[in-house]
Structure 1
Amino acid sequence: MAGIVDFTIAYNAEEDRDFTRTDIIAAYEIGRFKRSEALGALVSIGYTETMADVWLSKADLTKANAYARERIAQVKTLYRGKRLTRTQAHTQLTGIPIPSAEADTYIELWNVGREALVGRPSKSELRRFFLQNVLEEPEFRAELAGHHLSDTYIDW
């Protein structure tokens, strides 16, 4: 019977320690604890300094990866929207920092979508072109349909 009691106490203590570790790491991730403070807190609840360092390094990596994903998405949007040149996009990507080869891979992938993004005149520009007889009615209707307007709205 004593073995079961000891096991239960040890199990619950380990579970509490895991919850406390999670809280310490969460506080470290948002900047409430400095690395040295978080390391000391993890050691104080029974983790070795090596294990505590591993947990904190993992938190650092997770944070760095989240930042990189956001920056990559931002560069993608700007590049595909033709607000960045290839060189500018590459420079921004390698500044994240990611390896040059990885930046090249992203840009090649984005080029596929970038080429598909063809600019088109706005609806007001189309109307002006139509009224100035630059566009014939069938072309005008086709271009308005390209703006995802139904035939009902085009007929108005």
Structure 2
Amino acid sequence: ENCFEEGPGHKHAVRRCFSRHPIPEIGFNPYRAQSDTSTKKLIKQPDTRPISQERLVTEAKGIYAGLVMVENKCIEVDNARNTQTGPNNTKLNNEQWQALIALHRTLLQEHHGFFLASQHPSASPALRRLASKYAIPARMWRQGIHSFLKLLRHRLPASLEHIYISPTSSVPLWQ
């Protein structure tokens, strides 16, 4: 598994995966005082274990492979949906909308994972340049965000309720 634990044995240990978001332990609350519940204080960030260059490169390659696979699926689905106009334009049911949202959200998460791996503090300069080399920011915008918004726009007014869901998909990337 491509995960490691930060602060092992600590009450607030966090499990981190490069291609997924951090998974806090159940009951995790960083603002809760460890012993006195009447005072609130921040808990220091746990120490992280060093990661080797080989491991970072392996992670980045694996994430990039997944990213390309999901990106190709998004392109395929978006092209199929965008060509359905006029009388052939079938309305999407709620499950189909949810599947489209999940697909584009997965693509954004894969981009996020790639950025985490390639821009890691321990990453070599060559690994850090991969995001630019492969035009990752532009691809994230074009396939992960813009194409989905375009699909929503073409499906108005039926897509109106799903437009409100769209910005929440990209919130983790802005944080």
TM over 0.5: no
Q: Which has the higher contact order (CA 8 A, sep 6+)?
A: 2
**Higher fraction of strand:** 2
Query: TM-score by structure 2 length?
Result: 0.23
**Higher fraction of helix:** 1
Query: TM-score by structure 1 length?
Result: 0.25
